[in-house]
Amino acid sequence: MATLDCKEVLDNLSDYIDGEGSEELRKAIEQHISRCGRCRVVFDTTGKMLKIVMDVAPFEVPLGVSARLYARLEKVLAEEE
Protein backbone atom coordinates (compact mmCIF):
# COMPACT_ATOMS: atom_id res chain seq x y z
CA MET A 1 0.00 0.00 0.00
CA ALA A 2 1.20 3.48 -0.82
CA THR A 3 1.98 5.98 1.88
CA LEU A 4 -1.19 7.48 3.31
CA ASP A 5 -1.81 11.21 3.63
CA CYS A 6 -3.52 12.80 6.63
CA LYS A 7 -6.99 12.75 5.04
CA GLU A 8 -6.75 9.03 4.31
CA VAL A 9 -5.58 8.32 7.86
CA LEU A 10 -8.41 10.36 9.38
CA ASP A 11 -10.95 8.73 7.03
CA ASN A 12 -9.86 5.28 8.27
CA LEU A 13 -9.04 6.09 11.89
CA SER A 14 -12.34 4.83 13.29
CA ASP A 15 -11.90 1.44 11.63
CA TYR A 16 -8.31 1.30 12.87
CA ILE A 17 -9.34 2.03 16.45
CA ASP A 18 -12.09 -0.61 16.18
CA GLY A 19 -9.52 -3.18 15.01
CA GLU A 20 -10.98 -3.33 11.51
CA GLY A 21 -9.39 -2.87 8.10
CA SER A 22 -6.75 -4.90 6.31
CA GLU A 23 -3.39 -5.58 7.90
CA GLU A 24 -1.78 -3.52 5.12
CA LEU A 25 -4.01 -0.52 5.90
CA ARG A 26 -3.37 -0.86 9.63
CA LYS A 27 0.40 -0.86 9.09
CA ALA A 28 0.17 2.16 6.77
CA ILE A 29 -1.81 4.06 9.42
CA GLU A 30 0.70 3.11 12.13
CA GLN A 31 3.56 4.24 9.92
CA HIS A 32 1.87 7.57 9.20
CA ILE A 33 0.99 8.19 12.87
CA SER A 34 4.57 7.45 13.89
CA ARG A 35 5.86 10.37 11.79
CA CYS A 36 2.93 12.82 11.70
CA GLY A 37 2.46 14.83 14.88
CA ARG A 38 -1.00 16.11 13.96
CA CYS A 39 -2.45 12.67 13.25
CA ARG A 40 -0.75 11.26 16.36
CA VAL A 41 -2.47 13.94 18.46
CA VAL A 42 -5.85 13.13 16.87
CA PHE A 43 -5.28 9.40 17.43
CA ASP A 44 -4.18 9.86 21.06
CA THR A 45 -6.98 12.31 21.85
CA THR A 46 -9.61 10.09 20.25
CA GLY A 47 -8.37 7.08 22.22
CA LYS A 48 -8.43 9.04 25.49
CA MET A 49 -11.90 10.38 24.78
CA LEU A 50 -13.23 6.90 24.03
CA LYS A 51 -11.71 5.59 27.26
CA ILE A 52 -13.41 8.35 29.25
CA VAL A 53 -16.76 7.73 27.56
CA MET A 54 -16.54 3.96 28.03
CA ASP A 55 -15.47 4.22 31.68
CA VAL A 56 -18.31 6.50 32.79
CA ALA A 57 -21.24 4.76 34.41
CA PRO A 58 -24.69 5.84 33.25
CA PHE A 59 -26.29 8.54 35.36
CA GLU A 60 -29.65 10.22 35.52
CA VAL A 61 -29.80 13.79 34.29
CA PRO A 62 -31.63 16.13 36.68
CA LEU A 63 -35.18 16.89 35.56
CA GLY A 64 -34.53 20.63 35.12
CA VAL A 65 -31.53 19.99 32.86
CA SER A 66 -33.43 17.38 30.88
CA ALA A 67 -36.39 19.72 30.32
CA ARG A 68 -34.13 22.56 29.13
CA LEU A 69 -32.25 20.19 26.83
CA TYR A 70 -35.45 18.88 25.22
CA ALA A 71 -36.81 22.42 24.81
CA ARG A 72 -33.60 23.52 23.11
CA LEU A 73 -33.56 20.47 20.84
CA GLU A 74 -37.16 21.09 19.80
CA LYS A 75 -36.34 24.71 18.99
CA VAL A 76 -33.26 23.82 16.93
CA LEU A 77 -35.10 21.09 15.03
CA ALA A 78 -38.03 23.41 14.32
CA GLU A 79 -35.62 26.02 12.89
CA GLU A 80 -34.15 23.45 10.50
CA GLU A 81 -37.51 22.63 8.92
> Which of 50, 56, 62, 64 lies closest to 17 in space, CA to CA?
50
Give CA separation, 41 vs 1, 45, 72, in Å: 23, 6, 33
Which pTM was predicted? 0.64
Kindly indicate the confidence band of residue 80, based on its pLDDT and cuts at 50, 70 and 90: confident
pLDDT in tens, 15-68: 999 999 999 999 999 999 999 999 999 999 999 999 888 887 887 878 888 889
pLDDT at 15: 94
Q: Are 44 and 14 in contact (CB under 8 A)?
A: no
